[in-house]
Structure 1
Amino acid sequence: MAKPNVISKEDLIRHAKQSLTEKGIEKFTLRGVAEAAGVTQGTVYYHFRTKEQLLLEMVQDISVSSLRDISEPNEFILEQAIASAKSRCTYDSPFHKLFFSLVASSFTNPHIRDQLGEIIAIENQALTDNLPYLWAKSPIEGVSSEGWGILLNAVVDGLAIQTLLQKDFPVDTVYQELEHLIKGLHALPNNQGGSR
C-alpha cells in the first residue's frame, strides 16, 4: 500500500467531524473527508479501511474528550460533568446523530456493535469510578455504584435522543433538574438513602 500523504489520523478525524457537521450523515463519504482534508481518497483509506471504521474512531475520539470531564484523578466536579453532557445535547448534535446512526447500523454489523458496547462500558465505568466523590455510599440502599453509573449514563443518552427528536425540548430545565436530583440524593440522611 502506498504511503499516506503527510497528515495524521487525528487531523483526518477532525476534518471528518467537520464534514459530517456540514453535510450530515446521509451525505458523509470518505471522498468528502479527503476533499475537506486536501488529501487523496487513498490517504483516507490508508488510515481508515471503511466508512464505518472512521465513524467509530470519530465516536471514540469524542468519547475520550468527554470522558476527560469526568475522569480527572482525585476530583469529580458534578457541574462540569453535567455541563459537558448538556453541551452535546442539542437538536442538531453531530455527536449524537453519529452515535445513534452507528447504533442503528450495529444491529446488522457485529463489529460496530462490539466497539460501541466497549465505549458505553468505558463511560459507565468512568461514572461508577467517580461516584464516591459525590456519595460516600449509595444514597439508595440496594442500588450499587455500578448500577448508578449505568443509570446515569442511560439518562444522559435518553435525554440526547429526546433532544434530537424534539426541536423545543427543554434542555436547560431538564439538566438543571438532573443536577438537582443528583444533589438531592447526596443530601439524603447520612448519604445512605433508604425508602423515601
Structure 2
Amino acid sequence: MAKPNVISKDVLIQYAKECLVNNGIEKFTLRSVAEMAGVTQGTIYYHFRTKEQLLLAIVQNVCENSWTEISEQNEQLFLSQAIESAKSRCSYDSFFHKLFFTLVASSFNNEKIRNPLSDIVTEENSSLISNLSGLWGKSPIEGVTLETWGILINAIVDGIALQALLQKDFPVERTYQEVEQLFKAFSKLKDMGINK
C-alpha cells in the first residue's frame, strides 16, 4: 500500500540512492523510486519534476554530506579525511561517479543539468578553499591562490575517479596514498617558508 504524501524530499533521496545502487542508472526511473519508497509516482513528481532533478539532488546530497563530515574534522585531520572520503567513492563500480559523469555528459546539451552541476562544483571548490585556508592560512606556493588549489584538488579527485571507472585494476590505494603525500609535502614547504 502506498504511503501518504507526507514523505520528505530527503527520505525520497535516500530511497533514490538505494534504487540507483540496486538497479543502476540505466534502469533508474521515477516509478522504480516510487515503488521502493512505497509512494505514488505523484508523490515523486511533487518533489522532483524530472528524473534529472532527482539525480542532481542525489549528487548534491552526497557532496553536501561529504563536505559536512570533512569540515567537522579538526584542521590536522582535514587532509587525511578528505583523501579518505574521495577514495571511498573511487572504484570501478562507483555509483556516485557513474552518476556524476553521466550527468556531466548530459549537461553539455542541457542547461537545466549544466547549471545545477556547475553550482555543485562551485560549492565543492568553495569548501576546499575554506578548509585549505584553515589548514594552510595561505598558499604554500607564491603566485598560486587558494582558489586555484581548490579547483586543482577537485580536478585531481574527479580525474582519478574517471580513471578508476575506466580501468578495473586502477591502483586506487596507491594513488591516493601518493596524492596525500604530495599535499603533505606542499604543507611542509609552507611550514618551512620555502614557497618564495
TM (normalized to structure 2)?
A: 0.92
- Where do residues 37-48 of structure 1 align in structure 2 (5 Å cutoff)? 37-48=37-48
Confirm or deny that 1:117 pairs with 2:118. yes
Q: Which moved more, 1:65-74 or 1:118-127?
A: 65-74
Give structure 1 stretches of 5+ with no counterpart. none
8 Å Cα contact 1:70-1:126 kept in structure 2? no
What's the offset of the Cα at 1:193?
3.9
**Alpha-carbon distance in 2 for matches of 1:170, 1:86:** 11
8 Å Cα contact 1:124-1:149 kept in structure 2? yes
* Residue matched to 1:34: 34
Q: Secondary structure at the match of 1:6?
A: coil
Query: What code does the residue aligned with 2:92 have?
Result: Y
8 Å Cα contact 1:136-1:191 kept in structure 2? no
Q: Secondary structure at the match of 1:95?
A: helix
What's the offset of the Cα at 1:66?
0.8
16 and 190 in structure 1: CA distance in 2 versus 1, 3 angstrom threshold: closer
Q: Secondary structure at the match of 1:33?
A: helix
* Residue matched to 1:95: 96
- Aligned identity (percent) is 62
Q: Which moved more, 1:185-194 or 1:103-112?
A: 185-194
What's the offset of the Cα at 1:123?
0.5
Q: Which moved more, 1:181-190 or 1:42-51?
A: 181-190
The superposition leaves residues 107-160 of structure 1 with CA deviations (integer Å, 9 ceiling, x where unpaired) of 111021011001101100111111133324322221111111110011001111
Higher helix share: 2
Aligned length: 192
8 Å Cα contact 2:71-2:78 kept in structure 1? no
CA RMSD of aligned residues (A): 1.7
Query: What code does the residue aligned with 2:11 have?
Result: D
8 Å Cα contact 1:17-1:58 kept in structure 2? yes
